[in-house]
Structure 1
Amino acid sequence: MMRTISTTPHIDELIAANAPIAIGVSGGKDGDTAGFVVTEELDRRGHTGPRILIHADLGRVEWDASLPQCQRLADRLGLELVVVRRTKGDMMDRWLQRWQDNVQRYIHLECVKVILPWSTASMRFCTSELKTSVICAELVRRFPNTTILSVAGIRREESAARAKAQPQKLQKKLISTTHNTTGYTWLPILDWTLDEVRALHGERNFPMHTTYQTNSRVSCRYCILASQADLLASTTWDETHPLYREMVDLEIRSTFAFQDAGWLGDLAPQLLSVQQQAGLADAKRRAAERMRLEAEIPQHLLYEKQWPRYLPTHAEAQQLARIRQQIGALLDLPVLYTDAASVRARFRELMQAAGRAPVEYEGMATLRQLAFV
Structure 2
Amino acid sequence: MTTPGFQPEIIQLIDAGAIFYASHSGGKDSQAMYALMCQHIPSDQIVVVHASLGEAEWPGVIDHINATISHQLNVVEAGKTFLEMVERRGMWPGAQHRQCTSDLKRGPIEKFIRQDMAKRGGGIAVNCMGLRAAESATRSRRSPFKANRRQTVKKRAVWEWLPVFNLSTAEVFQMIADAGQKPFWAYEQNERLSCVFCIMGSRNDLRHGAEQNPELYRRYVQLERNIGHTMFMKSGQPIWLDEHIGIPVKNIEVAA
- TM-score normalised over the length of structure 2: 0.90
Shift of 1:269: 4.6
2:216 corresponding residue in structure 1: 243
- Aligned to 2:4, the other structure's residue is in SS state coil
CA–CA separation in structure 1 for the residues paired with 2:226 and 2:81: 20
Residue 151 (structure 2) pairs with residue 160 (structure 1): no
- Aligned to 1:235, the other structure's residue is in SS state helix
CA–CA separation in structure 1 for the residues paired with 2:7 and 2:176: 26
Counterpart of 1:142 (choices 116, 119, 126) is 116
Q: Which has the higher helix share?
A: 1
- Aligned to 2:68, the other structure's residue is in SS state helix
Q: Which has the higher strand share?
A: 2
- TM-score normalised over the length of structure 1: 0.63
Contact 1:148-1:181 within 8 A present in 2 as well: yes
Structure 2: gaps of 5 or more residues: none
CA–CA separation in structure 1 for the residues paired with 2:15 and 2:43: 9
Shift of 1:140: 0.8
Higher relative contact order (CA 8 A, sep 6+): 2
Counterpart of 1:130 (choices 104, 108, 130) is 104
Contact 1:53-1:79 within 8 A present in 2 as well: yes
CA–CA separation in structure 1 for the residues paired with 2:67 and 2:43: 22
Counterpart of 2:186 (choices 194, 199, 211) is 211
Structure 1: gaps of 5 or more residues: 100-116, 284-330, 332-373
Shift of 1:204: 2.0
Residue 81 (structure 2) pairs with residue 90 (structure 1): yes
Residue 15 (structure 2) pairs with residue 58 (structure 1): no
Equivalent position amino acid for 2:162 in 1: L
Q: Within 5 A, what are the aligned runs for 1:187-336?
A: 187-237=162-212, 240-261=213-234, 262-266=239-243, 267=245, 269-270=247-248, 272-274=249-251, 276=252, 279=254
Larger radius of gyration: 1
CA–CA separation in structure 2 for the residues paired with 1:5 and 1:120: 31
CA–CA separation in structure 2 for the residues paired with 1:135 and 1:196: 27
TM-aligned CA distance change 1:164 to 1:7, over 3 Å: farther
2:67 corresponding residue in structure 1: 72
Contact 1:65-1:210 within 8 A present in 2 as well: no
- Aligned to 1:256, the other structure's residue is in SS state coil
Give the number of aligned pairs.
248
